[in-house]
Amino acid sequence: MGIKWILRALACIPLLAASTAWSAEVHGRSSTQFEWFNDIFTGNKQAEFAEYLNLSITNIDKAGKFSIQGYGRVTQDVRNGEGLNGRLYYLYGDYRDLFDKVDIRLGRQFVNYAAGSALIDGGQIQLKNIGPVAFSVMGGRNVFFDLNGEGTRSNDFAFAAAAYLNGFKNTDAEISYLMKFDKNGVARDNLGASFKQYLFNSLKLYANTRFDFASETFSEVLAGVKFFPMANLVLTGEWYQSYPTFDSTSIYSVFSVSRYQEGVFRIDYTFNDKLSANVGYTREDYDGVSADVFEVGCRIRPIEMIQLNLNYDHRKGYGGDLDGGIAEITVTPIKPLELSAGIHFDVYERDRVTGEETARKYWFGGKYKLARNMSTSVRIEDDVNARSKSDWQGRVVFNYDF
């Protein structure tokens, strides 16, 4: 989608709001940013200005059922002559509670089902309040972005349908189906399901699965439980399985891939408002070969104005060994000002041939609240690793809420 179309679409929104006989409410955030970094594809130093606009227009009609949501970005390269570029992430009209049973959303929107997700130029209709089960259908042009902007072609489409439980306080369940098309035919053909159940005010059970018809395999399966024996203690256990799948029209769909599985156990405990800790263990399995990952971390607030986050990871097994740590500190000397800094340090060994290598990231930043609706922030970091002796990058941001 060209930058001119984006600018015209965003420019028309205030006119729509002004045309109503009553006062529409316009809220959102303007984020003006300047960032610099090294382009990982060309190696060139890059610098650009960016304007992100996120807005919501409500109270357009007397009943307050219709609203407009939009989010887009415009960037201007100032170093390598790449010019003006823009992306419209979503811009849609949302009409809710038609006959108290139907929600309609038209325009560019992100749609997520258990069977898959898509960014579409099209519509979504939800039918609700007709019993214990609600229904949803969506369809439209399948939108995706490449390095130069929008890469969608004329034959890219996505369609999906879902049925889900409605009106149950402690239970969520969904079954859905999704198809994506490109110039060569059916690219994705998925069936998905999700489930979540709360029990006894202290237990949460959840599961998700996705079946790919082209490869005739479950591409993702997740099952987990969270147990809250006390308000300050959370125990988590999960099992996850993934089998990589590609668009059936892609050459990569004929490549051999391995099934991945992992089991996770994690404990989160809050001692008081000054100290909390977590510990976790993950068993990774790559079709018969495995690795063990241990993690321990804590959050310390010795005084009100200082917070320290510490985390350590240890990995050993298939794919290489790793010892890594993160130390971050946040200081609030005065209420509107927040200063922070951190270091990420990893020592890893992919195999015996490469030997041990290190990767380090140093960063510092700050946020300052200029007024109730204005703030500014800065973050600068340097990455040092086997690929780069120094990779400076940073961002300066000014946010205005309206």
Which residue would you say has higher pLDDT here, 9 or 88?
A: 88
pLDDT digits (tens, 9 = 90+) for 345-369: 999 888 766 778 899 999 999 999 9
Query: Are 278 and 185 found together in one domain?
Result: no
Which residue would you say has higher pLDDT here, 57 or 38?
A: 57
Residue at a domain's end among 84, 108, 136: 84
Residue 188 to residues 8, 116, 194, 239, Cα–Cα distance (Å): 33, 9, 19, 25
- Is 252 within a domain? no
Angle (CA) 162-166-169 rounded to 5° is 135
Structural domain containing residue 20: 1-84
Residue 161 has pLDDT above 60, yes or no: yes
pLDDT digits (tens, 9 = 90+) for 365-401: 999 999 999 999 999 999 998 877 888 999 999 999 9
Residue at a domain's end among 202, 226, 250: 226
Q: Which residue has the tokens 């610098």?
A: 47
Angstrom distance (rounded) from CA 356 to CA 348: 6
Buried b (16+ CB within 10 A) or exposed e, 330-363: beeeeeeebebbbebebebeeeeeeeeeebebeb
Which residue would you say has higher pLDDT here, 387 or 52?
A: 52
Query: Are 268 and 329 found together in one domain?
Result: yes
Query: Are 143 and 182 found together in one domain?
Result: yes
- Is 93 within a domain? no
Query: Are 330 and 353 found together in one domain?
Result: yes
Angstrom distance (rounded) from CA 170 to CA 197: 6
Query: Are 16 and 44 found together in one domain?
Result: yes
- Is 204 within a domain? yes
pLDDT digits (tens, 9 = 90+) for 280-333: 999 999 988 999 999 999 999 999 999 999 999 999 999 889 999 999 999 999
Query: Are 20 and 111 found together in one domain?
Result: no
Query: Are 76 and 111 found together in one domain?
Result: no
Sign of CA dihedral 377, 383, 389, 391: negative
- Residue 113 near residue 192, CB atoms below 8 Å: yes
The per-residue pLDDT for 88 is 93
Q: What is the mean pLDDT of residues 188-195?
A: 96
Query: Are 393 and 277 found together in one domain?
Result: yes
- Is 22 within a domain? yes
The total number of structural domains in the chain stands at: 3
- Is 234 within a domain? no
Q: Which residue has the tokens 């490449």?
A: 146
